[in-house]
A and B are shown apart, each in its own frame.
Chain A
Amino acid sequence: MWWVLGGVLVAAVVAGFLYNRSSSTAENAKVVRPASSVGPHSGVLVGNANAPVTITEFGDFQCPVCRELHQLWEPTIEQLVQQGKVKFEFVGLQFLDQGTTESLRSAAAGVCAADQNKFPDLYNALYDGQSRTENSGFLTNDQLLSFGRSVGLTDPTFANCVKSGRYAGWVAKNTDATTRRGITSTPTVLLNDKQISNSVAADPQRLTDAVNQATGQG
């Protein structure tokens, strides 16, 4: 009877691999590389491209800890960007989707907003207006467009970009590449490509000190 088991299990592995590969978004979705995603980790960049320090957030718009971090560090990040010390990179990921596409579509909408030079506004709106429950069906395309309108994204180009899922394949590929490099949780924060703890990132003084140290002013 062992041969029956062996045959069935080999067939199951092969069938499972082929079936899942054919239904994987990361494997099959059309990838449109956005002109606005020019950060070192293929994220959206905010601030002066020549700023000496890059702070990278790997985030998911459904992630409650990301929202918490956003609320804690947003004024500091904005100040550091305005001072020209920091350029901020956001890599929107599809980490919390479970048979849903809310993280995927919201991250893709963020890239659509970046194309219209409105990324920071939509980024703030998506985190500030985050649903208390993940994968609740809250982040429909209509809801994403509503967030867009609330920050002045009324251009049909944005609506078309969101509705057509223009950057969904890009986000799926980026998510795959990110987990492959060992980043398996959100938020993950890098400062000049080195991971810093979320407690440092969330503390205005410690974050500013870390940036000053990186610029040689600490």
Chain B
Amino acid sequence: MLAGVWGWAGVAKLGDPDAAVRAVRAYDILPETFVKPFAWGLPFVELALAVLLLVGLATRPAAWASAVLLLVFIGATASVWARGLQIDCGCFGGGGQSSADATSYLRDIGRDGLLLCLALLVAAGAPSRLALDNLLSPEEP
């Protein structure tokens, strides 16, 4: 499921790089130097995490990285909410200005919180039998 969400989020952001930059700027958190690298690198990072989690390669590190990324998203959403900014999260493409209210910020934070729990479960659990991790470092019999 986590792989599916990352894949969806990554693909949705691919079509409009200028909208991605506007969405990141709207958060008003990153210095300008980092806006474009973050906006343009993020969709590929999300896709990479989706592929790693799906094929079971570096599963635990990918799950930890997912958890860190989700914490960043939760923190950023809470920050714009606290500052009274009205933006769309841009989580699945688009983003920037909107008439977002407390409910939509709570919904975004709640969704990311659930995904964070999932990521932590994956990070704590053993890789599945089909995971590529088993090929690279098979368990001793």
Q: Which residue of B lies closest to A18 (CB)?
A: B40
Q: Which of A16, A97, A180 contacts B19 (CB 8 A)?
A: A97
Q: Are A13 and B45 closer than 8 Å at their CB atoms?
A: yes
Q: Which residue of B lies closest to A11 (CB)?
A: B48
Q: Are B47 and A98 closer than 8 Å at their CB atoms?
A: no
Check A213 for interface membership: any CB of B closer than 8 A. no
Q: Is the interface of B mostly helix, strand, loop or mixed?
A: helix
Please report the C-alpha to C-alpha distance between residue A8 and residue B58 in the assembled complex, in whole angstroms: 10
Q: Which of B18, B32, B61 contacts A180 (CB 8 A)?
A: B32
Check B39 for interface membership: any CB of A closer than 8 A. yes
From 1 to 57 in chain A, residues with beta carbon under 8 angstroms from any chain B beta carbon are: 1-2, 4-5, 8-9, 11-17, 19-21, 23-26
Q: Is the interface of A mostly helix, strand, loop or mixed?
A: helix
Q: Are B40 and A179 closer than 8 Å at their CB atoms?
A: no
Q: Which of B16, B26, B48, B133 contacts A1 (CB 8 A)?
A: B133
Check A156 for interface membership: any CB of B closer than 8 A. no
Q: Which of A12, A98, A186 contacts B16 (CB 8 A)?
A: A98
A-contact 0/1 string along B15-33, CB 8 Å cutoff: 1111111100110100010
Please report the C-alpha to C-alpha distance between residue A48 and residue B101 in the assembled complex, in whole angstroms: 41
Please report the C-alpha to C-alpha distance between residue A15 and residue B36 in the assembled complex, in whole angstroms: 13
Q: Are B44 and A95 closer than 8 Å at their CB atoms?
A: no
